[in-house]
Structure 1
Amino acid sequence: MTTMTKTTITLGEAIERLVPGGVSFRFEGYDGSTAGPDDAPITVRLLNERGLSYIMSAPGDLGFARAYVTGDLEIDGAHPGDPYDALVHLMDKTRLRAPSAAETFRVVKALGLAHLVPPPPPPQEHLPRWRRALEGLRHSKTRDAVAIHHHYDVSNRFYELVLGPSMTYTCAVFPKSGSSLEEAQFEKYDLVCRKLDLQPGQRLLDIGCGWGGMVRHAAKHYGVKVIGATLSEQQALWAQEAIAREGLSDLAEVRFSDYRDIVETGFDAISSIGLTEHIGVHNYPAYFAFIRDHLKVGGRLLNHCITRPDNRARASAGHFIDRYVFPDGELTGSGRIITEVQDAGLEVQHEENLRMHYAMTLREWNRNLRDNWDEAVAEVGLGTAKVWGLYMAGSRLGFERNTIQLHHVLATKTDPSGETTFPLRPTWGS
Structure 2
Amino acid sequence: MAFIALGINHKTASVDVRERVAFTPEQLVEALQQLCRITPSREAAILSTCNRSELYLEQDHPSIDEVLAWLAGYHNLSLEELRACAYVHQDDEAVRHMMRVASGLDSMVLGEPQILGQMKSAYAVAREAGTVGPLLGRLFQATFSTAKTVRTDTAIGENPVSVAFAAVSLAKQIFSDLHRSQALLIGAGETITLVARHLHEQGVKRIVVANRTLERASVLAEEFGAHAVLLADMPQELVHSDIVISSTASQLPILGKGAVERALKQRRHKPIFMVDIAVPRDIEPEVGELDDVYLYTVDDLHEVVAENLKNRQGAALAAEELVGAGVTDFMQRLRELAAVDVLRAYRQQAERLRDDELAKAQRLLQNGAAAEEVMAQLARGLTNKLLHAPSVQLKKLSADGRFDALAVAQELFALDEGSDKSSQ
The structure whose residues are more often helix, as a share, is 2
Higher relative contact order (CA 8 A, sep 6+): 1
TM-score w.r.t. length of structure 1? 0.28
Larger Rg: 2
TM-score w.r.t. length of structure 2? 0.28
